[in-house]
Structure 1
């Protein structure tokens, strides 16, 4: 692994974990996993995260080919510094941690009532085992997990930061680090994320994430355009 790939990998991994732990899609995956078969929720959420990461990296990689690399370098620097200040402001002045958990849970409760007939717990889980693989793959639960995660991440701070990182770092390292980070976060959410989300301090995570973004911004500002 070259130095540029390793640097992009490390930055992307750290940024992804600190951006995703405890956020809305993390909480949504945790709640869905408590109501539906975990393998379907994991497949839906993780595939959405991987697709989103790859799309973001492609956009970031293509940006220097559309506008000057010097300009994309400065845009990436401003993105990191801006997101760092944003995360710090949210960490110090944001609402309590329980607010987001309650908000996501209420939204999923409303959605769950509308599709209640699609899944009936363990009995339906056993029935699905006897169905053809394609039918399981196109399960409403998997599709629900995919769409909730994909559109929840679309335009999110972490997606924009990934685009900026891919424009300034080695795209291969960014996509590998992003996918590994998303995998770790999604597996954690599905296995026991709701308990974790209710115990960790989102403010602390936001503050650490803010400092990380600012460090990336300073490093990008001081590094030459390559």
Structure 2
């Protein structure tokens, strides 16, 4: 296992930026920031991504204690190659850069209409009764914060970047991986929230996918050539 914090940090940072920029959670943050206060959207999205990164790193850190170091190394190497080829295939077969943006916007619009309909239906209810029936967490957190958190957290669950973070943490210094991952998430989320839809629409999804694919392949080659226990 590589114990270089710098190596784990740099790999995690590069992988996170190229995996997260222009993906669904990036577009979700950008669109939510156009409709709600930016500070609430930023704090909600970023909190979810930080929690997800820490959980992923913990799983990756624990993996070598459950499975032999040899197998975790081989699995991580295979994952890097698979994700690299997957990203390259998506990049070469991508039909358009606006497809994912339109898909996310349509979903959020549908959720907004559903919420508005529910609000109109309950408009005659007593205010005190509404407060009593509010979900427990909304007594402590803003509904917008919780919405941004839940959309981002469940959007990232099982995502390629999450699995890659687990594999990276199993083969690199976990402290470096978590610091690089959090910084990468912070950069991407801040850019999405403050750059808005304009920035999102200017990002070339094809180039991001191809760059991420080549990066994963580089990681895979490096892991394949490195002796087990020194990758």
Shorter-chain TM-score above 0.5: yes
Bigger CA drift: 134-143 or 73-82?
134-143
**How does the TM-score come out when normalised to structure 1?**
0.89
1:203 aligns with 2:206: yes
Aligned CA distance change for structure 1 residues 168 and 160 (closer, same or farther; 3 Å): same
Match of 2:61 in 1: 61
Aligned CA distance change for structure 1 residues 17 and 145 (closer, same or farther; 3 Å): same
1:25 aligns with 2:25: yes
Q: Secondary structure at the match of 2:98?
A: helix
Match of 1:15 in 2: 15
Query: Of 162, 173, 178, which aligns to 1:175?
Result: 178
1:153 aligns with 2:161: no
Match of 1:189 in 2: 192
Match of 1:73 in 2: 73
Residues 67-123 of structure 1: per-residue CA shift (max 9 Å, x gap): 10010000000000100000000000122111111000000001112334999xxxx
Query: Of 139, 142, 151, which aligns to 1:139?
Result: 142
Distance 1:118 1:176 in 2: 41
Q: In the alignment, is the contact (CA less than 8 A) between 1:118 and 1:140 conserved in 2?
A: no
Distance 2:138 2:66 in 1: 42
Q: In the alignment, is the contact (CA less than 8 A) between 1:88 and 1:211 conserved in 2?
A: yes
Match of 1:83 in 2: 83
User: How many residues are matched?
Assistant: 211
Distance 2:111 2:217 in 1: 38
Aligned CA distance change for structure 1 residues 222 and 21 (closer, same or farther; 3 Å): same
Distance 2:79 2:69 in 1: 15
Residues 29-70 of structure 1: per-residue CA shift (max 9 Å, x gap): 000000000010001000000000000000000000001001
Aligned CA distance change for structure 1 residues 36 and 79 (closer, same or farther; 3 Å): same
Q: In the alignment, is the contact (CA less than 8 A) between 1:153 and 1:159 conserved in 2?
A: yes
1:166 aligns with 2:169: yes
Q: In the alignment, is the contact (CA less than 8 A) between 1:76 and 1:165 conserved in 2?
A: yes
- 1:25 Cα deviation from its structure 2 partner: 0.2
> Where has structure 1 moved over 3 Å in runs of 4 or more?
116-119, 134-137
**How does the TM-score come out when normalised to structure 2?**
0.88
Q: Secondary structure at the match of 1:97?
A: coil
1:83-102 matches, cutoff 5 A:
83-102=83-102
Distance 1:140 1:118 in 2: 15
Distance 1:87 1:172 in 2: 26
Match of 2:227 in 1: 224
